[in-house]
Every structure is written in C-alpha cells, then in structure tokens.
Amino acid sequence: MTDLAVIVEGQSELAFVNSTLQEHLRGHGVDAWGRLPGKHVQCGGIPKWDIVRGDICRTLKERTSRRCTIFFDFYGMPHSWPGRREAASASFSQKAEMVEAAIAEDIATVMGSDFRRELFIPYVQMHEFEALLFSDVDQMSRQLCVVNSCSDEGSHSRMRNNLQKILETAGSAEQINDSANTAPSKRILGIAPGYRKAISGPIILGRIGIPQIRQKCPHFNQWLTNLEALGSSY
C-alpha cells in the first residue's frame, strides 16, 4: 500500500478524508490518512503558508517513500500562499492550477535538489469544501431537510429547487464563487441554517458518493485520478 498523508484545512475535510476518501483509495492500493496543520487545532481560517509549508516538509521527511497531498479551499486562502494573489484575477479555469503550481515549486525549492517532485501532489478545492455537495442537489437537499427538521416532501422540493438555481446560475459546482456572501457554505446556510460544516458536510458527501462527486467536479476528479495512480507507483 502506498502511504499517503493528506494535510487538510479543517475538521470537515479531515472527516471526509478519513472516511469516504480513505475507503475509496484503499481499493486502489493507497493508504490515505488526514492530518490537520500546525501544532494545535486550527479554529477557523487557513493558516499562514509558512505553517503549512513546515507541515508538508516534515511529513515528507518522516518516511522517504511517503506521498503527501493537501486539501485547502481557494476561498479564504491568504494571499501569502504561493500564487494566490496572482490567481485572484485569473480566469476560473486557471485559478486552482496557478496556486497548485506555485505551491509545488515552493515545496521543491525548500526540500532541495534531491527532492522527488512526484512525492507531493498539491490540491486546491474550488472554491470551498461545500462546493462538492452541489454535485447532487437532490441528495444534499434531502439531508439538509433532516438537519433542519423539515422532512416533508414539499419542504424538500423547495430546498432542492433553491439549490438547483444556485448551481445553474454558477454553471457547475466548482464554479460557485467565493465572496463573503456567495461562497458555497454561505449559500447553504442561507437556505438551511441548521447546516453544520464539520458534521453535516462529510455525511452528505458520504451519501452522495465518490462517483457522483467526480462526475460533477472535474478539478476534484483530476486530483482523485492522480491519487489513485499512486497505488501502482511502487
């Protein structure tokens, strides 16, 4: 099994990695496990880049054959992160790749000339963890109705329609934008105040399932494809 450490932004991503993603990748010969950044649990917000960079480098140095990836949102990412400031004005199709390329280059520089670049696979979630939930608005609306104690069919239909309008306006789940009022999590909370990111999000994604998520989220799918390929690397 390929040892894969996944350094994640917060508790929601950690729960998703250690359940749904972990189970999926085991079928491809990859043992994935999540790790929060820094010495202490992060209470909201993305840490400064030097903190996460240190975690990445230490994680890679713990075992010579270990692979490492990261799972952080584009939304709320400080401009101190490599490529983030430049990506702010780039087109949607370029944003995540610009940041990922800059992060990979920074890590390679810090690790030194002997570093095997294939050991580190950066991933930036567009635009936020909650964007993945929009890969199946019917399943998401059913689960949100449960947490909001409105499980009748009429309430479900209204919630599904509201979520579908958000998705159609954006164009795709990963394109739902990242302003303070229109980020995916803000959209969900506006419709379902009972939504709790660290609890509800991973449960909903587990119900939706990896095949549906990767079908509707191309950038996530490319990351997952790269991780699956690690199982045949050794």
Res 43: pLDDT: 53
- Tally Cβ neighbours within 10 Å of residue 110: 12
Confirm if 25 and 32 have CB atoms less than 8 A apart.
yes
Q: Which long-range contacts (CB under 8 A, 24 or more apart) does 107-111 make?
A: 107/53, 107/56, 107/57, 110/53, 110/57, 111/57, 111/60
Nearest-angstrom CA–CA distance, 136 and 138: 6
- pTM for this predicted structure: 0.94
The Cα–Cα gap between 77 and 131 comes to: 15
Q: How many CB atoms lie within 10 A of CB 147?
A: 17
Which segment of 50-54, 115-119, 174-178 scores lowest on mean pLDDT?
174-178
Is 44 a residue whose pLDDT tops 80? no
Where residue 181 falls among pLDDT bands split at 50, 70, 90? confident
Greatest Cα pair distance, the chain, in angstroms, is: 61
Give bridge partners of residue 2 from the DSSP assignment.
30
**Confidence bin at 31 (pLDDT 50/70/90):** very high
CA distance 194 to 203: 14
**Residue from 127, 101, 123, 124 nearest 180 by CA:** 127
The domain segmentation of the chain, as residue ranges, is 2-127+217-232, 129-213
Q: What is the pLDDT of residues 51-101, one digit of tens each?
A: 999 999 999 999 999 999 999 999 989 999 999 999 999 999 999 999 999
The β-bridge partners of 69 are: 6, 121
